A and B are shown apart, each in its own frame.
Chain A
Amino acid sequence: MAGLWFTTRRARLMLKCDNCNKPATVHLTEIRNGKKIEKHLCEQCAAQNEGLPVKSHTPINELLTNFVMAHSGLQKETTAGQACELCSMTWSEFRQGGLFGCANDYTVFEKDLTPLLQRAHEGATHHVGKVPTRRGGTGVPMKKTVDLSKLRKELQRAVEAEDYEKAAKVRDQIKIAEG
């Protein structure tokens, strides 16, 4: 119906390039004649059609965020072509269906998932909130998890506030807490 938009969860995760069927990684918003035009392109189409050199303008705070995050042990290196050894899910299968096959996929694809999560969750990358009293097979004692999620939130806030001195301190605390 007119005037009512429906954003499906899948759509937010699975944007495809406007020109071809590859996943869109470049998102442009243009104002033309007072109208907002959104474009979602893959890197190739962005380079060809818009003459956009991709990945050259990373804002300074994003660089610093990535740097702090990378050194806090929050991101693990993974290879994109990998399949989950438990459920055989691959990254491209996930991008097609929008659903994961098992809990292990979150670990296997953690690195690729992070930018998607940030888009879907307003920049958030870590859980804050309820923690089950029994550990659901993660092997992490509850108290420690609670402290960690608090610290991570603190880290996120410090980075957002561009207080990198504090961020570095919190990062060290996280390292200690993780043992």
Chain B
Amino acid sequence: MPMKLSDLTSHAGEWLRGSGPMSEVVISSRIRLARNVAGYPFLAKCSRGQRTTLEHKIRDTILGANISPQTLYVDLENAPDTDRQLLVERHLISKPHAAAEGARGVAIGENETISIMINEEDHLRIQVLRSGLQLEEAWDQINKLDDLLEAKLDYSFHPRFGYLTACPTNIGTGIRVSVMLHLPALKITGEIEKVFRAAKDMRLAVRGLYGEGTEATGDFYQISNQTTLGKSEEEFISDFKHLVIPKIIDYEHQARRILAKERTVGLDDKVYRALGVLRCARLISSEETLNLLSHLRLGVNLERIKEIELRTINELFLLTQPAHLQKLHGKKLDGDARKQARADYIRSRLNGQ
């Protein structure tokens, strides 16, 4: 049975289910591989015709390779704006991919853990996204997926430079390993700089919720490698898993312990104010929602609030985003209408339990 985009709207993908190792701090683990097809120019120098040929060729290969029991393919060139925005909110395509022009698409499979962007900056951007700290599992999954596609496509490969990519910052392995961290306690205690320093020492990039050039709303931080050459995929992943992430998780745990033990009233004040506003507001912006949900999530993690499930909060993070709200309502909503719809939806989810 072919999947439809609307099948995705009403629930969160696997990666937001709020479980997985270290899920109190690590929201998700993501690995992506950049690949290009030999014999075609990179996208900057592709004619319209070549772009279309590539899109067809790669789409047919993916759909023929049985990458997943159910695969959803979205032709982004002809998709409505809201659909593209929805896919960005679900982290299945990048912002530039949504905004670009010309033949391009995305294939989504395995309960949204897999997404393959066609004609983004490279011909293929293969991504695996899993909940919690699951980098090795993500690597196993993406490595197999890459093998399946490589059996049918000639990848552009250079003996010295490895997998060739449009931007030389991605050559070699073409890998980007990133984890999305929720660090509210470090933000509250003013120690978030520690994370930036640790990341900078290890030459890692810190980004916001939606990747390159976005802000860290809702205390979400994405940490990813910047170098792709000179180490094997396993080495990049192992450094990440063993050197970088445990240190940051540890900082956040320490800050949470201090908040819970020494600043209990201050913590409860923040958590219950957040719950109060979310349960009562009649108009609420996306940014305010993210920031309040962040405090609420901290409260649930530290068991200051017991009647709300982590999963509900994770879903609210996603389903209160503009495109999701409009899909849930089945119509375009602007300004106050959207704020009202958001507040209504949050009240129904938080008061209903």
Give chain A's interface residues, CB within 8 Å of chain B: 1, 3-10, 12-13, 74, 86-89, 97-103, 106-107, 110, 113, 116-117, 120-138, 140, 145, 148-149, 152-153, 156
Contacts and interface: CB of A to CB of B under 8 A. Distances in A.
B168 interface: yes
B89 interface: no
Contact of B45 (A7, A101, A132): A101
Interface in B9-42: 36, 38-42
A120 B168 contact: yes
Interface stretch (B223-231, B272-280, B310-318, B330-338): B223-231
Contacts of B206: 4-6
Interface string B157-191: 11111111011111111000000000000000000
B192 interface: yes
B304 interface: no
B203 interface: yes
A145 B230 contact: no
B45 A129 contact: no
B110 interface: no
B230 A124 contact: yes
Nearest to A142: B157
B44 A4 contact: no
B138 to A, nearest CB: 15
Contacts of A101: 41-42, 44-45
Interface in B253-305: none
Which one of A13, A88, A137, A156 has the greatest number of beta carbons of chain B within 10 Å? A137
A126 B230 contact: yes
A6 B207 contact: yes
A5 to B, nearest CB: 7
Interface of B: 36, 38-42, 44-45, 121, 143, 146-147, 150-151, 154-164, 166-173, 192-193, 196, 200, 203, 205-208, 212-213, 215-216, 226-235
B19 to A, nearest CB: 29
Nearest to A127: B162
14 contacts: A4-B208, A9-B167, A9-B170, A88-B45, A120-B227, A122-B230, A127-B162, A127-B171, A128-B231, A129-B232, A133-B147, A134-B150, A148-B159, A149-B159
B246 to A, nearest CB: 21
Contacts, number: 169
Contacts of B166: 99-100
**Secondary structure of the A side of the interface?**
loop
A50 B103 CA distance: 50
Contacts of B207: 6
A134 B143 CA distance: 15
A127 B172 contact: yes
B258 to A, nearest CB: 20
Nearest to A137: B38
Contacts of B161: 106, 126-127
A1 B221 CA distance: 13
Nearest to B41: A102
B44 A138 contact: no
Contacts of B216: 1, 4
Contacts of B157: 131-132, 135-136, 138
B173 A127 contact: yes
Contact of B230 (A12, A89, A128, A132): A128
Given A110-B160, A127-B162, A133-B151, 5 more contacts: A99-B167, A101-B45, A122-B203, A130-B163, A149-B159
Given A1-B216, A4-B196, A125 B230 contact: yes
B158 A121 contact: no
A140 B150 CA distance: 16
Contacts of B162: 127, 129, 131, 149
A103 B36 contact: yes
B243 to A, nearest CB: 14
Nearest to A101: B45
B232 A128 contact: yes
Contacts of B232: 128-130
B41 to A, nearest CB: 4
